[in-house]
Structure 1
Amino acid sequence: MGVLYVIRHAQASFGAADYDVLSDLGHRQSRALGQALAVQGVMPDAVFIGAQRRHRETLAGIADGLGAPVQPQVHAGLNEFDFKGLLDARFRDAPAPDGMHSDRRSHFRTLRDTVLMWQRDEVPDPPETWAAFSDRVADAKAVMQGAGETVLAVSSGGAISQMIASVLQTPADQQIALQLQMKNCAVNRFISTSNAMYLHGFNETPHITAETAEELLTYS
């Protein structure tokens, strides 16, 4: 039986020209999480990340906090879906809501409705189909399931939420409901056997205490 820790990346740069860069706070979050995992005795024998910069930078901070070097394997199934491209595809021929890419409230409200449409194949010419996204996440899950006794992965909220939804066999619309709850640097734990996987912990933040919550607790 193995334990798989799938961690959402630390705070990136919402509203900036390049979202895929950790903020200064994001770097502090990732180091704090690594320190908390070290206290828990977590020492991975296999590590995976997506191909995005925020995944690599988050893992670097975690490794620094753990006090141990890591050699990750990159798997495209851990990449986030192209949420900007998806939103733009939905509103290609119609006016987009104000602040869709820059205002958090507008962005996440619009994203929720757009993902539900995407799941029903109602977004014309998306950057990626929902089926393709689901398949690559499933492939990442299968690869990590047998990779070691303690496996750690860094991914993004959409991919992690789809992994959880598939393990729990929920309706498709629960993916976005899970995604919109997920904190930066949240830890999601799975127990895996040779032929099954079970959710054992969701959206955990062992690096956050009452004293540090005001600084370290973020969602975007």
Structure 2
Amino acid sequence: MAELLVIRHGQASFGAENYDVLSDLGRQQARAAGEWLRGMGWAPDRVVTGTLNRQIDTATEMGFEPDREEHAGLNEYDFSDLLNARFKDGIPDLVQGDRKVHFRTLRETVFAWQRDEIENPYETWDAFCTRVEAARAFSVDTDAKRVLVISSGGVIGQLTAASLHAPAQHMMNLNLQIKNAAMTRFMFSGSLFSLNEFNATPHYATPDGAKLMSYS
């Protein structure tokens, strides 16, 4: 059996004009994940990221050697576009500025998206699922025994839910639990693909490491 280790990118820049930039904390998180893996003697034979800067920079900060490949199917869904499609008269200020309201609205909006209740989204829920599956298939189509993937919370939630044949809503329940730079591990061989570990953060399991933990 081979391993597919999927890591969520480090903390991005919530509330900034450009979200797709790792914060200083996000860079520390990525380095901590890479250092922990090396300390355990784990190094990837293949590295795949999406095309987002926060994913690419997380891979760089982790510091592994294999040439990095990209697959756009690993990119996060565009929540801003979903919000604009849902709130056609303008997004409420609290959604933009209050973290609790933001994430409650995120959950409600994704559930509506899954039920096909959002008119003319940039991407349908079915299209999102299809591209995530295409990225998974691309990542495991290899002779490598240790594949490192850097992606985002929604994609990881969907990969996990799909591997468990869980209802669509379960993707979002998983998505909101995933910590920055957390590790989700799958085992694969041929057509077999199964979850081994979800949302693990052993690199935060010290008093100093615990200070690095974040969810957004």
Normalising by the residue count of structure 2, what TM-score does the alignment of the two structures yield? 0.96
Q: Is the 8 A contact 2:203 2:209 kept in 1?
A: no
- Match of 1:183? 179
Structure 1: which amino acid aligns with 2:213? L
- Please show how residues 35-114 of structure 1 align to structure 2 within 5 Å: 35-63=35-63, 68-93=64-89, 96-114=91-109
Out of 152, 156, 168, the residue aligned to residue 156 of structure 1 is 152
- Displacement of 1:146 in angstroms is 2.8
Out of 110, 118, 121, the residue aligned to residue 115 of structure 1 is 110
* Aligned CA-pair RMSD: 1.1
How many residues are aligned here? 215
Asked if 1:145 is matched to 2:143, the reply is no
- Match of 1:10? 10
Runs of 4+ in structure 1 over 6 Å off = none
Structure 2: which amino acid aligns with 1:184? N
- Match of 2:170? 174
SS in structure 2 of the partner of residue 169 of structure 1: coil
Unaligned runs of 5+ in 1: none
Structure 2: which amino acid aligns with 1:122? E
Asked if 1:129 is matched to 2:124, the reply is yes
Distance 2:115 2:92 in 1: 21
Distance 2:163 2:32 in 1: 28
Q: Is the 8 A contact 1:48 1:154 kept in 2?
A: yes
Q: Is the 8 A contact 1:84 1:101 kept in 2?
A: no
- Match of 1:20? 20
Distance 1:203 1:26 in 2: 16
Distance 2:53 2:97 in 1: 20
- Match of 1:33? 33
- Displacement of 1:102 in angstroms is 2.7
Q: Is the 8 A contact 2:204 2:210 kept in 1?
A: no
Distance 1:213 1:189 in 2: 21
Structure 2: which amino acid aligns with 1:116? F
Q: Is the 8 A contact 1:10 1:26 kept in 2?
A: yes
Structure 2: which amino acid aligns with 1:103? D
Distance 1:15 1:127 in 2: 22
- Displacement of 1:214 in angstroms is 4.3
- Displacement of 1:33 in angstroms is 0.7
Unaligned runs of 5+ in 2: none
Q: Is the 8 A contact 1:14 1:102 kept in 2?
A: no
Q: Is the 8 A contact 1:37 1:206 kept in 2?
A: no
Q: Deviations over 1:99-119 (max 9, x none)?
A: 212321111000100000000
SS in structure 2 of the partner of residue 15 of structure 1: coil
Identity of aligned residues (%): 47
